[in-house]
Structure 1
């Protein structure tokens, strides 16, 4: 049998299922037992003539069967949604990597063309960068 918190947490569903199963139950009948399993069993017995065992089995079935199935279905839906998002992210990352590779290839071609068309200026730039890097490393070691 569910405890008080479980019953309160799923009260609307339990109430609906009880009214569905035993049509003679009213909202007023169920309101008298809200949150209390023992009172709920008593109210259902009194109103329907069902045995205590029958009512307890029905309520246990709600919590062990269908609510578990609903939770399982919800988990499955969330897992599928997460998988879809992961697939989308993977496709996006792949597209961006391809775009970056294309840009990088384009820049490499431009640099090669520039070096071929202006070899002296290119050598001067590389020499200047080398001197700057050497000075930076040399000054960094002195500290």
Structure 2
């Protein structure tokens, strides 16, 4: 027979299964127990006429199945947590790879731009100087206008 602690831990399951097995048991029958698991067999026996051994075996079976169910739930939860952790690792690896590729593309593009700019300055120094001078004047004008509007 299950211990009182086991019955208390699985009371709703045991109560439900007893009512399924012996339909004549009512909620009032269980309320009379007032949490006394030791009196459960006697109440069921008086109400149903079933033998003490039959009731105890049934309750033990329900309690064992409840423990088994709890173990299955815990095992599944651990498995899902492991799977989630593995997937998170895969996503992190994928994000890191994507970032590295993006950085590589940007570095390559900026290197290409620097090379083109250097070649243009070497091939057309006067035009490059004029463009830089014009850009400087434009930037200065924008800054001055910004200060006046304050």
Q: Are the aligned partners of 1:7 and 1:37 in contact in 2 as well (CA < 8 Å)?
A: yes
Distance 1:86 1:38 in 2: 45
How many pairs were matched up? 118
Question: How big is the shift at 1:103?
Answer: 1.6
Q: Are the aligned partners of 2:22 and 2:48 in contact in 1 as well (CA < 8 Å)?
A: yes
Greater relative contact order structure (CA < 8 Å, 6+ sep): 2
Structure 2 counterpart of 1:33 = 33
Q: Secondary structure at the match of 2:18?
A: helix
Q: Secondary structure at the match of 2:24?
A: coil
Moved over 6 A (4+): none
Q: Residues 61 and 34 (structure 1 numbering): CA distance in 2 closer, same or farther, change over 3 Å?
A: farther
Structure 2 counterpart of 1:18 = 18
TM-score by length of 1: 0.69
Question: How big is the shift at 1:95?
Answer: 2.4
Question: How big is the shift at 1:21?
Answer: 0.7
For residues 6-55 of structure 1, the C-alpha deviation after alignment (integer angstroms, 9 at most, x for no partner) is 32222111111001111111111121124222210110111111111111
Structure 1 counterpart of 2:109 = 110
Q: Secondary structure at the match of 1:95?
A: helix
Distance 1:106 1:54 in 2: 76
Q: Are the aligned partners of 1:15 and 1:30 in contact in 2 as well (CA < 8 Å)?
A: yes
Q: Are the aligned partners of 2:15 and 2:30 in contact in 1 as well (CA < 8 Å)?
A: yes
Q: Residues 108 and 96 (structure 1 numbering): CA distance in 2 closer, same or farther, change over 3 Å?
A: same
Structure 1 counterpart of 2:44 = 44
Q: Are the aligned partners of 2:45 and 2:55 in contact in 1 as well (CA < 8 Å)?
A: yes
Flag structure 2 segments of 5+ consecutive residues without an equivalent: 120-150
TM-score by length of 2: 0.66
Structure 1 counterpart of 2:91 = 92
